[in-house]
Amino acid sequence: MRLLHTMLRVGELQRSIDFYTNILGMKLLRKKDYPDGKFTLAFVGYGDESDNSVIELTHNWDTKKYDVGTGFGHLAIEVKDVYQATNKIQQQGGKIIREAGPMNAGNTIIAFVEDPDGYQIELLGPK
């Protein structure tokens, strides 16, 4: 068994694709409209779906905004240098919600970014 993808519902699909590809450096792997269901699926990730877990962005055409909810925590992405990654994300217009620095109960360097729909993404250095 392996983890295939995580699905996030998004209000504006192109805005989300731009964030994940232009700001976080993922690739748009595939995108398909489903007119009968009135939704579009776009899959983004750092590598081919055959070898990597990816994110499924689901856009329901009649919904412009979602509440993130209290059950969802965050996605986590490993980066080479958390400080450098947050600087680059800020320069590209990304929203940093926790600056890079040691976590409160240890010395692991982390940061948090928020995507256009309010989903939190943790940035972690290599272990």
122 in catalytic set: yes
Angstrom distance (rounded) from CA 114 to CA 121: 6
> Could you say which of 12, 56, 114, 122 is catalytic?
122
Catalytic residue numbers, as ranges: 122
